[in-house]
Amino acid sequence: MERIVIEGGVPLQGTVRVNGAKNSALPILAASLLSQSRCRLSNVPDLRDVKTMGRLLSGLGVGISKISPDTWNLDPTEITGFEAPYDVVRTMRASVLVLGPLITRFGRADVSLPGGCAIGARPINLHLMGLEKLGASLRIEKGYICASSKRLEGTRIYLDLPTVTGTMNLMMAATLARGTSLIENAACEPEVSELADALCKMGARIEGAGTDRIEIEGVD
């Protein structure tokens, strides 16, 4: 049997570059849709899913330019589309993270279900439940989540399971809702905290990210 043997007691020194995490980059890229001004994201990992998210955002009208291999400029000031098509979503389930930002900023979104017409093994029912509690009108039509709303209203949302993408989607939706939202039994993973940090730098008001109770005070 192969094994690795480590003998300790030797001082370590040197520098290690820590690459950006895909699971943090994807939601933060989607969060650019919430902004009314340009954003810059650095230490973006050069991975296929990240490129797919860039393609999805470009299709919605986000202007994307790279000033270095790992630094992206994003311009969401002229959004022209509101659909996340199946051919993109089927290759990357994280594409559903554009649902919350689109519905809260623009009042409409058409996002393919990750499994097409079938909800599949990793359902997004908790995303939909939370958005309905915030005031969104939802219907499933030909494999798409068709969402519409005037301004969302802050509310209390209890998640039956601490879903990571569900927590992030609802946290983004709540940033522009009127009033205060509370997400209970929220996911506590580091990428939730990193998304909250990015949102707060953009002007959101979020407390408790990284715990199972996240409070979001909606802003204009």
Residue-wise pLDDT for 125-175, tens only, equals 999 999 999 999 999 998 899 999 999 999 999 999 999 999 999 999 999
Separation CA 199–CA 186 (nearest Å): 17
For helices 190-202 and 164-175, the axis angle rounded to 10 degrees is: 10
Distances (CA, A) of 195 to 24, 143, 190, 218: 7, 28, 9, 16
**Cα–Cα distance for residue pair 87/105, rounded to 1 Å:** 24
Instruction: Choose among 156, 118, 149: nearest CA to 135.
Output: 149
* Cα distance between residue 176 and residue 218, in whole Å: 5
Q: CA 62 to CA 56: how far, in whole Å?
A: 9
Q: Which two tokens stand for residue 166?
A: 């569900």
Annotated catalytic residue 188: no
Where in the chain are the domains? 22-217
What is the tens place of the pLDDT at every residue in 165-204? 999 999 999 999 999 999 999 999 999 999 999 999 999 9
pLDDT of residue 116: 47
Q: What is the pLDDT of residue 1?
A: 67
Tell me if 24 sits within 8 A of 209, measured CB to CB.
Answer: no
- Structure tokens of 42? 């650095």
Give the whole-angstrom CA distance, residue 174 versus residue 190: 19
The strand order across the sheet containing 156-158 reads 156-158, 180-184, 213-217, 205-207
Query: Greatest CA separation found in the chain?
Result: 62
| pLDDT tops 70 at residue 121 | no
How is domain 22-217 classified at the CATH fold level? UDP-n-acetylglucosamine1-carboxyvinyl-transferase; Chain (3.65.10)
More confident residue, 141 or 1: 141
pTM, full prediction: 0.90
Q: Are strands 108-112 and 63-68 parallel, antiparallel or unpaired?
A: unpaired
Q: Which of 117, 146, 188, 200 is catalytic?
A: 117
